[in-house]
Amino acid sequence: MKRFDTFHPAALLLFYICILLLSMLSMDPVLLLASVCGSISFYCAAAYPRLSARSGLFFCVLFLLVTVTNPLFSHNGVTVLFYLNHQPVTKEAICCGAALGAMLLSVLYWCRTLQIFMTSDKLLYLFGRISPSLGLLLSMCLRFTPVFRRQYQNIHQVQKTLGYGGSDQPLDRIRCHVRSFGILVTWSMEHAIETADSMNGRGYGLGQRTAFSLFCWRLRDTLLTVFCLAATGGILACRAYGALHYYYYPAMTPHIWDAPHVICYSLVWLLMLSPVILEGVETLRWNYCRSAI
């Protein structure tokens, strides 16, 4: 059980909106570094027993690819390192590429944790808040998808025992898939009517629906919300005072360490690392509690 899993969907959504907004807001290397560190460490903590080296490698390659390809498109910058095909390759372009790669990397990793924590029922809750009918539609789709997948396996097997699709020819196999899919379509549509009856039987469409959920808004959701809003507001305010305006071209902006910058950076690091800190503290406390029993 991860701590983040227990937050209210709305609080979670707000957190992720803030985080993603900030990650894409600026090319400032300090901000991007914070976001990358925060997202990757949080992902490792969240997916702990099931980390895959392959996806990690994939993201490294992606990062390098973005870094390397940026100079091919952008020839701005003052510090020319060398010429490729008579086009200058500049230090600024490479750095900018690295920043773009870092932004992409952090966004992707935040999204991966988002996928872990924003489970279908939480998303459903959020949709249900906007519109109960939409929430219901989504829930019905979520219900049918696994049913259809299972039923498709059954159909495919039955078709095999009837002597279809058993041969090794690819065309024959594709034809059998299309055939099975056709059966699935008929089956699903004919049986959907029973589901519709069951809905009508329980009074669907009689009036305004409400959306029930098991989620409760607790103190820690309030805390998370306040923290996110305060941090994001602070960062945006600092931005108005000149922080987070970073340029790579023609030359990279030198870092200034005045008050808005320092406050801004510390807030950014605090916000970006907050999930992993929370998870870590929680795990330690849990282990402590368990050993105390």
Binding mask 18-47 for other proteins (x = CB under 8 A): --xx--xxxx--------------------
Tokens of 38: 């925060």
Q: How far is the CB of 150 from other proteins (least distance, A)?
A: 8
Task: From 3-11, 38-46, 101-109, 261-269, give the range in contact with other proteins by CB under 8 A.
Answer: 101-109
Q: Binding to other proteins by residue 269, rule CB under 8 A? A: no
Give the separation between CA 286 and CA 293, rounded to whole angstroms: 11
Q: Residue 18 is encoded by which pair of tokens? A: 């803030």
Helices (H), the chain: 9-25, 29-46, 53-73, 91-117, 120-130, 132-161, 170-201, 219-240, 259-292
Q: Answer whether 179's CB lies under 8 Å from 166's CB.
A: no
Q: Backbone phi, then psi, for 87, in 5-degree steps?
A: -110, 140
Near other proteins by CB under 8 A: residue from 31, 34, 93, 211: 211
CB of 193 or CB of 293, closer to other proteins: 193
- Choose, by CB under 8 A, the member of 10, 33, 44, 136 that binds other proteins: 136
Q: Is 100 in the site for other proteins (CB under 8 A)?
A: yes
79 near other proteins (CB under 8 A): no
Run of H or E including 84: strand 80-84
- CB 235 to other proteins: min, Å: 14
* From 1-9, 121-129, 253-261, 285-293, span contacting other proteins (CB under 8 A): 121-129
Asked whether position 183 contacts other proteins by CB under 8 A, the answer is: yes
Q: What is the DSSP letter of 7?
A: S
